Amino acid sequence: MPVKPKRPCNKAGCTKLTEDRYCEEHQHLQQQNRNRQQRNYDKHRRNKQSSDFYHSKEWEAVRNAALQRDYGLCQDCMQEQRITQADVVDHIQPISLYWDLRLSLDNLRSLCHSHHNKKTAEDKRKYGGKRQWVSFHG
């Protein structure tokens, strides 16, 4: 398998070369950026019901179960004969339309960020830009 060329660390002023965005010393900045982006997404774009769900203990448990079932590997990459660590657990049927399936292990699959972005784009084409949320009570 080809090795990725090294590039300078994204931290301003750091001259270390790395295969990732940040060198080992500045790796924590990548997580800080992700956390900031996630908070912004939750605050400004995500529906409150969905946001509350994705921060629940129930979601954390079923998400971990899906990752364990899939050995922490991206299922789409596996179909392409590649091994890539999964960093997202995706709802096959979107919870905005199928709220009852939100905790169903059969409706979940582990994906890498790249495949999750492709799947999200497909969902937007299939269901329209901004999905209509069905209101559920109870």
Type of residue found at 93: Q
Query: For residue 3, what pLDDT is reported?
Result: 73
How many residues are present in the chain?
138
pLDDT in tens, 97-124: 899 999 999 999 999 999 999 999 998 8
What tokens were used for 119? 């799947």
Q: What is the DSSP string of 49-79?
A: HHHHHHTSHHHHHHHHHHHHHTTTB-HHHHH
pTM of the shown model: 0.63
pLDDT in tens, 13-35: 999 998 888 888 988 888 888 77
Between the two ends of the chain, the Cα-to-Cα distance in Å is: 51
